[in-house]
Amino acid sequence: MRLIEKDDPAVAALIQKERSRQETTLNLIAAENTAPAAILDALGSAFNNKTAEGYPGRRYHTGCRVTDELEQLAVERAKALFGADHANVQPHSGVNANLAVYGAVLNPGDRIVSMKLSHGGHLSHGDAASITGRIFQPSHYGVNPETERLDYDAIRDLVRQVRPRMLVAGASSYPRLIDYQTLRSIADEFSARLLVDMAHIAGLVAAGAIPSPVPHAHFVTFTTYKTLMGPHGGVILCSADFAKKIDRSIFPGTQGTPTLSLVAAKAVCFHLAATPPFRAVQERTLHTAALLAAELDSRGYRPVSGGTDNHMVLADLRGKGLKGDQAEAALEAAGILCNRNVIPFDPESTLVTSGLRFGTPGISSRGMGPEEVKQIAGWIDRILSKPDDPSIQKNVAAMVADLCRRFPLRDRLEG
């Protein structure tokens, strides 16, 4: 910080302010986490200054001896952590990782089948607003209206009708486990490839806290910054027979030079994710999410699908006569951060919504546990019972500030 304070006080001040905002608010945004300081060190390292098109041993620049060692280390760690044959650690983001998988095995105009965005899927799975929806011909499956869970018979019917070249699974707001084995058998039956995008849950999978898609999918993509607690970036895993195609599809197919400081940070992330404290944080994340779902449920905020098997809770606000945008703003006024989210078959628009998505990775990595989650659920209810009452928000904000002081953000992983 010292040099940036001298050389660019404006940005230095913003970094300080942002750090303090994170320190003093309760982060229940399911897609976020706090990376240990070792990750930030790697991001701000000398590897930023290296340009290295290509792959270890096959670069289009000189001076890559150390860079090659670094990328190989990151690849080996990713493979070991997830039990994969091959890993590509160069994707700049989760969306880039998905684009490269499509590029490796699909042609423009090919059919894909994926989960619809409004039921929890992701833009990059062929949604109309994404370029993936224009390049390919997507058909979407959703959840069953009664169970609010994936209906594998319906998915099979859709795949049988559409005969896609790729079946895509994985979601941004689906609180349940996914049956990868069944999806693979559906893909195999109709000669489709299976891509599982495990962006949200990669940390839980790395810790062995929930089942892994790696043994079942042809391709697995993920981001390293959500439950995995690493930098903002993407990774592709695949079996050995697709290794060359995937690597070529990242470079030169969809990216230029890798960001080597980001590769360094991913290497640190995979190292830390193999340690007992990381597993303890992931187990606590699962436990606190289940507890949050139960606590909200008992107060009349129905968890979509009845609960959760992962780190997130999708709350249906209709029973309280509330809208997502209004509820999100009322909670933010008290320092409780979550996001409005459409629920399956939501009558409201994506800007308004009938739901709130909560996640427990952020509070679990700063050490909060069951007692704190019970308190937080009570505060959420107090605020949402009178969302237009600023005095309640002020009152809760003081307790939020106190809780945050008792559980400071951690620079190192602790169980």
Ligand X SMILES: *Cc1c(COP(=O)(O)O)cnc(C)c1O
- The binding site for ligand X (CB under 6 A) comprises 31, 93-95, 122, 124, 170-172, 197, 199-200, 223, 234
Question: Between 121 and 387, whose beta carbon lies closer to ligand X?
Answer: 121
Nearer CB in complex with ligand X: 126/234: 234
We find the least distance from the C-beta atom of residue 198 to ligand X, in angstroms, to be: 8
Is the Cβ of residue 31 or residue 289 nearer to ligand X in the bound state? 31
* Cβ at position 344, least distance to ligand X in Å: 16
The CB-side HSE value for 111 (13 A sphere, CA atoms) comes to 14
Two structure tokens written together for 313: 């809770």
Q: Alpha-carbon distance 99 to 288, whole Å?
A: 34
Q: Which is nearer to ligand X, 54 or 94 (CB)?
A: 94
Give φ, ψ of 354 to 5 degrees: -110, 10
Closest chain position to ligand X (CB): 94
Burial class for 333, CB neighbours closer than 10 Å (0-12, 13-18, 19+): middle
Q: What is the largest CA-CA distance in the chain?
A: 63
Of 308 and 393, nearer to ligand X (C-beta) is 308
**Please, what is the minimum distance in Å from the beta carbon of residue 234 to ligand X?**
6
Question: What is the closest distance, in whole angstroms, from the C-beta atom of residue 29 to ligand X in the complex?
Answer: 11
Smallest separation (angstroms) from ligand X to the CB of 274: 22
- Give the residue with the Cβ less far from ligand X, 100 or 384: 100
Structural contact between residues 28 and 375, judged by C-beta atoms closer than 8 angstroms:
no
Contacts of 129 (CB under 8 A, 6+ apart): 123
Instruction: Count CA within 13 A, CB hemisphere, residue 164.
Output: 26
Minimum separation from the CB atom of position 195 to ligand X (A):
11
